């Protein structure tokens, strides 16, 4: 089943200039801005400018240039915001079970402190 893009989602409105954002990076294919509800000292959302719903949609439909720009943006933002050396996390929530809140593909880049492990040791399988 094809994913349907909602042109009225908050990120679409930001991309159209209808809503403001605290921009930290922009190029031809990508916009990155500070998350309104940061979970760490550095918390940036990195999204492609074209209307993709998820990684699944993006990987199937985006151009090689868009895919490269999105990944390169993460490295650029990490360097510019000073978290590249100490470490950071990138995360994409996809779909209902992944708790994706806005149906426009976006990557969270989070850093600036120890983020802890992704899975607690007691939950790891041998």
Task: Look at residue 3 in the predicted model and tell me its pLDDT.
Answer: 76
pTM, full prediction? 0.91
Residues in CB range of 72: below 8 A, 6 or more apart = none
Task: Look at residue 76 in the predicted model and tell me its pLDDT.
Answer: 98
For domain 10-113, give the fold: HIT family, subunit A (3.30.428)
Do 92 and 110 meet the contact criterion of CB atoms below 8 Å apart?
Answer: no
Task: Look at residue 12 in the predicted model and tell me its pLDDT.
Answer: 98
Distance between CA atoms of 36 and 16, rounded to whole angstroms? 18
What are the residue boundaries of the structural domains of the chain, listed by start?
10-113
Task: Look at residue 67 in the predicted model and tell me its pLDDT.
Answer: 98
- In the annotation, is 104 catalytic? no
Q: Which of 29, 43, 104, 106 is catalytic?
A: 106
Query: Which residue stretches of the chain have pLDDT < 50?
Result: 1
Task: Look at residue 118 in the predicted model and tell me its pLDDT.
Answer: 82
What is the separation of C-alpha 118 from the centre of its chain, rounded to a whole number of angstroms? 17
In Å, how far are 26, 78, 121 from 89, measured between CA atoms?
Answer: 20, 10, 18
Residues in CB range of 104: below 8 A, 6 or more apart = 5, 9, 11, 12, 47, 51, 52, 53
């Amino acid at each position: 089943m094809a994913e349907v893009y909602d042109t009225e989602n908050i990120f679409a409105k930001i991309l159209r200039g209808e809503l403001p954002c605290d921009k930290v990076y922009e190029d031809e294919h990508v916009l990155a801005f500070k998350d309104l509800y940061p979970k760490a000292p550095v918390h940036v959302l990195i999204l492609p400018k074209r209307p993709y719903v998820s990684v699944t949609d993006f990987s199937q439909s985006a151009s090689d240039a868009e895919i490269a720009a999105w990944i390169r943006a993460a490295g650029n933002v990490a360097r510019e915001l000073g978290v590249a050396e100490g470490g950071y996390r990138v995360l994409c929530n996809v779909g209902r079970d992944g708790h994706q809140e806005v149906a426009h593909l976006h990557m969270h880049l989070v850093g600036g402190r120890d983020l802890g492990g992704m899975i607690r040791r007691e939950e790891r399988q041998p």
